[in-house]
Amino acid sequence: MIDYIVEHQNSFVYSHLFKYNIIDLLKKEVPCARLFESMIVNMPIEYVEWPQLSQFNTRMFSAYSGSMFKLRFEYKNVFPKLYEQEALAYDDRVSEQSWGSYDSYKRVVTKVISAYTKRKNQLAKVQYQLNLLCSMSEEDGKLIDAVSNSNDLAIFQTDSIKDLIDWRWQKFAKRIHMRGFFLHVLYILLTTLYICTTYLKNDFGLGPWFKDVQLLGLGVLLIYPLIYDCGQLIKQGFSQYFAQFWNYVDMFHIFGGYANIYLQFVDPTSCVAVGWYSALIMSILFKLFFFFRIQEKFSIITTMIMTCIYDLKVFMVFFTILVTFFGFCFNVLSPNP
């Protein structure tokens, strides 16, 4: 049925046929790649009222929630910043008061013509796409969740899904994760300073209070991930939240971090404090790998390593048991005085 509609009714006017069932189709693993490639959900538009050439050749996303029949007159509201920049860039009006003599008039006109010619050579063709996936009903759940849980890998090669993911990332997720990444980097730097102060015995001549200030700073930096993960826990529920492995790492990173602060205040040289801190440092490393996925250059290698570790989980358990028991043998044969 979908193939028939795509072949014979390939137009955005038929997008209403999928408005209330697109999420259900994805959940039932119905192949939707051809639908997402069609003009039913991803339509190229070309209006006379919209500029066809622009000197800004970057990819841009913008949301529109008004009527489809008024869209052709809404360029100023859909791309307000771009509209203002283009208005300034193409404002070649010359004030008559600046002409003065014929020579000054000639210089002004020559300057305007040369500037226009330079900009004209830098102009690029603008292509507008109207992605209608964002207008689909989410009564049966969130569209982005249905897409992420789908096993139909072909849909991730379509422009409509790529644009949907990119837009949601730039509009919502990027700001949140970049803020978390920045605070995590500060946490790593402060952890490094604390290890240097406490375990390497280098307090830079500032005294014991410097150590207490560092521990207080570590506790403050854990407030943001605590608020974020508690919000995710409330939003997703206990069963869905704890079904993901990374959430266990996040919880240990947060509450283990506060427990480590307490242990460091009591006795940083005790076996419990040292062992706990070592495990916490590993969780900090895993969190750093998680944030590396934000950057495109690090995303591929990070995802590949994490996937390999997960696929080798049985081997890792077996290898850990071997290392542990070999350690027991060496301690018996040659104990450490």
Counts for the chain of helices (H) and strands (E), in that order: 16, 4
Tens digit of each residue's pLDDT (9 = 90 or more) over 186-197: 999 999 998 888
| pTM of structure | 0.68
Ranges of the chain whose pLDDT falls below 50: 92-102, 104-106, 108-109, 111-113, 115-116
Assess contact for 329 and 316: CB atoms under 8 A. Answer: no
Distances in whole angstroms, Cα of residue 256 to Cα of each of 13, 86, 98, 201, 234: 55, 52, 70, 24, 20
CA end-to-end span of the chain? 77
What is the CA angle 266-271-276, rounded to 5? 80
Tens digit of each residue's pLDDT (9 = 90 or more) over 32-77: 888 888 888 888 888 888 887 777 677 788 888 888 778 888 888 8
